Every structure is written in C-alpha cells, then in structure tokens.
C-alpha cells in the first residue's frame, strides 16, 4: 500500500522505537547514512554515458528505485529528528530558485550549467 | 504555500522546461547532484558530537532545512526522469526492512548497528 | 616545497597537535570529512559533459587541484589515525584488481563498465 | 612490493591502457567514482560512536585499508587525467591552511570545529 510522506514519517518513527534504534539515529549519524545511500545511487551511474542513463532497462530501474527509497527514508528520518517540515522547506526552496534563475534569463544561456 | 510530493514533481518539470534545462538533467547528472547535495548536508555535522547534533540552535536548523530541501528536489527530479514512483518504492522498502529486521530480534542486540 | 607522502603525514600530525585538534579527528569524523571533500570535487563536474571534463581550462584545473589536495590530506590523516600504511594498501589493491580483471579478458568486453 | 606515488600513477596508466579503459576514465566519471568510494569508507563508520571508531579491531582495519586504497587509486587516476601534481597541490594546501588557521589562535577556541 502506497503511503504519503506523513505516513512514512510516522511509520519510520514507530519502526525505530520498536527496535530501540533511536540511540543510533542522531542527526549526525543519519546525515552520514544519507550521504552513503546517495553514493550507492551514484554507483549505478558512474561508468554510464548520459545517454545510457536515459535508457536504463526496466530491471535496472527497479533496483535503483529501492536505492532511491533508501535516500528518501533517511531524509525523512533526519528531517523528523531535526523537527524540520521537509515539504515546507522544499516549497520555499523552489521559490528561492525561481528568483535566483529567472526563466527568461536562464533560458539559452544556462549559465549555471555551462560556466567552466 | 506548502506543496505535496506530486505537486513538487510537476513544478520541477515545469521549472526545467521553462529554462531548457532538460538537456542537463540526465539521470547520471542528477545522481551526481544528489550525492553532492547530501555531502553539503553532512558538512554541517562532520565535526559535531552526536549530542551537539541533537541540540542544534534554531538558526542552524533553518539553514539545514534548505539543504535537505535540495536533496529532496534532486531526488524527485531523478525519480521522475527514471519514471519511478518514489512513494511507492519507499513503501515497498519499509516492508522489506520490516522482514529483514524483525522487531523482537533487532531489539537489544541491534546487530545491524553494533557489529564491528 | 613539494613533500613526500611520509612528510605530509608527519606535517598533518604536527599541524593537528599544535592546534589541539586531535579531539576532533576521530576516524569517524575524518571519514565524514573525506566524503564531504570528495563531494566538493564532484560538484565541479556534475553538469559537464565527459568531453568538457577532459578539456578543462587551466584556471579551473588549478581550483580543482586544491580540492583534490583536501581529499588527499583527509585520506592521509584518516589512514594515520587508523595506523594504516596507505601506500602499502594501494599496492596490494592494485594486485587484487589485476587478478580480478585480467587484461586479455577485460579488453574489449569491458564488462565492468558496460553491463547494465 | 610497496610502491611510491609516482609508481602507482604509472601502474594505473598501464593498467587502464592494457584494458582499453581510458574511454571510461573521463575526469567526470573518475570524480563520481572517487565520491562513491569515499561513501564506502564512510559506511563502515556511520553507526559507530567516535570512541568505537578509535578502537577498531584489526580485522576491521584491514578491510577499511582496502577501501582507503580505492580512494587513493581513483584520486591518483583523476589527478593524472587532469595533469595535476597531487603532492605539489597538497603541499600548497597545507601552507594555505597554516595561514588560515594560525596555531596560536586556533588552539583552544577551535572555532573551525565548534561554531554552530
């Protein structure tokens, strides 16, 4: 059954509590775990061309889906431990980015990406 | 205004389209960006004790909130480019973890964490 | 003046001692710092094509040189704190890799890289 | 047989050439691989206390030695592809750090580490 973000957060809380894992889930440790999991995602792509990465076979995408899930789960757990509302922060960040890279100026030049 | 995951995905799609950025957003590049952003989160914690990481001042948590947002935004963008339903994958992953670490056995021993 | 690996290790030891930084340089913290610095290296490359990454202007290579130096310095400090002889380990690892990927079989197929 | 940095660089060059792997070893890909390997190092430490990380059993240190070797090998390969003299850059970086954190001021305050 597919859960919402709020439901995932609650379930992760319960999951850690039932296993007495809160002692390991300091923000510092969770930040390390988040980085480790992001590295495991990248491992799948490191030797591919960009084109190959756009045409992954279904089997490979299925594997990667579970790695992306790991990143999300640690991200939610870390946000929860820091008492941060992640969806709210993401909404604010999008707004900040919209101001920083106005569409009419970013288009074409794409300076963010092409400046060497 | 706080958005749902589905709304964030749509908005990120529109954002990239308006700036002609899809050319840069290959899964390979997004996986690299995800890892870079996770590293920026970790940077805040690297020299803190675990205890300090549990007692961050509000100002610091506000900064970190925007870094966590960056991780989420790239995670959503990457999932979208790979046609992966992230919430569904996360729900499945929680179920897998529940089988892998049954509460009655994980409790106390916490072997996952303590085995050197 | 260009130093050898052994000289760098000694100097880093002295550097930390003079600043009373050994308390911060636990292997755990240094492993986090190593990962953060590797992320900063990757940041320079995340939106480039592979071709662009092979043709960096001198100014950019100079910037990256100092980021690579950061990775090396934390790597040496971490090895030293763990009492690991890094050059010896690297020599052994090359030997292991040579057995794992025999040239006559790896050539052409390059399975390590191309298997999706 | 334990090799020097210069010997390792030469051997890695020969290793890639014999397997026709230079096509995969763009600086971009090597920077991703460096980050992935640094993540594998961090994985060993993520749930340990700092104290535990200072007291690793010999068997564990032996495992980690080979992970650190991987980081060094990609670091050398990347430096070589970018025509960067890594030991020279590290020597310069130490000098920069010495100016940035003068011992008499860094001592005690350790602001670099403790500022929240």
Residue pLDDT, tens place only, B57-93:
999 999 999 999 999 999 999 999 999 999 999 999 9
pLDDT(D115) > 80: no
pTM: 0.95
Q: Does the interface ipTM go beyond 0.85?
A: yes
CA of B71, closest CA in chain A: separation in Å? 8
Q: How sure is the predictor about C81, in pLDDT bands with cuts at 50, 70 and 90?
A: very high
Side-chain half-sphere CA neighbours of C70 within 13 A: 20
List chains touching B (3+ CB pairs under 8 A).
A, C, D
Contact between C19 and D110 under an 8 Å Cβ cutoff? The reply is: yes
State residue A108's pLDDT score.
52
Query: pLDDT in tens for each of the 116 residues of chain A?
Result: 789 999 999 999 999 999 999 999 999 999 999 999 999 999 999 999 999 999 999 999 999 999 999 999 999 999 999 999 999 999 999 999 999 999 887 775 556 665 55
Provide the pLDDT confidence category of residue B115 given band limits of 50, 70 and 90: low
* Spatial separation of the C-alpha atoms in residues B10 and B33, rounded to whole Å: 19
Q: SS3 helix, strand, coil % of chain A, rounded to 5?
A: 70, 0, 30
What is the share, in percent, of chain D residues with pLDDT greater than 90? 86
Q: Is the pLDDT of residue D109 over 90?
A: no
Measure in Å the smallest separation between the Cα of C50 and chain B Cα atoms.
11
Chains that touch C (3 or more CB pairs under 8 A): A, B, D
Tokens for B15?
């954002």
pLDDT above 70: residue C115: no
Residue with tokens 């961050």: B56
Q: Check residue A20 and give left, alpha or beta (phi > 0: left; psi -120 to 50: alpha).
A: left
C6 Cβ neighbours under 8 A, 6+ residues apart = none
Which residues from chain C sit within 8 angstroms of residue D73, using beta carbons? 90, 93-94
CB–CB of D35 and C39 under 8 A?
yes
Check residue C98 and report its DSSP letter: H
Question: Over the stretch A35-55, which tens digit does the pLDDT of each residue have?
Answer: 999 999 999 999 999 999 999
Rounded to the nearest angstrom, the minimum Cα separation between D37 and chain A is 8
Q: Verify whether the Cβ–Cβ distance A112 to C47 is below 8 Å.
A: yes
3-state secondary structure of A72: helix
Quick one: average pLDDT of D37-41? 98
pLDDT tier at D104, thresholds 50, 70, 90: confident
Sign of CA pseudo-dihedral D80, C42, D97, A34: negative
Q: Which of C53, C85, C96 sits opposite D27 (nearest CB)?
A: C53
Residues B13-65 have pLDDT tens digits of: 999 999 999 999 999 999 999 999 999 999 999 999 999 999 999 999 999 99
CB contact under 8 A, A32 and D24: no
What mean pLDDT is predicted for residues C44-56?
98
Residue C88 has pLDDT above 60, yes or no: yes
Check whether D110 has a pLDDT greater than 60: no
| Residue for token pair 């992953």 | B93
């Amino acid at each position: 059954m597919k859960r919402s973000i709020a439901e995932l957060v609650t379930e992760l809380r319960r999951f850690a509590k039932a296993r007495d894992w809160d002692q390991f889930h300091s923000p510092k440790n969770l930040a390390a775990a988040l980085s480790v999991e992001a590295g495991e995602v990248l491992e799948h792509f490191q030797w591919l061309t960009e084109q190959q990465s756009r045409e992954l076979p279904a089997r490979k995408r299925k594997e990667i889906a579970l790695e992306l899930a790991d990143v999300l789960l640690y991200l939610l757990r870390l946000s929860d431990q820091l008492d941060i509302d992640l969806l709210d922060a993401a909404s604010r960040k999008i707004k900040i980015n919209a101001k920083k890279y106005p569409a009419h100026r970013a288009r074409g030049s794409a300076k963010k990406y092409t400046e060497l």
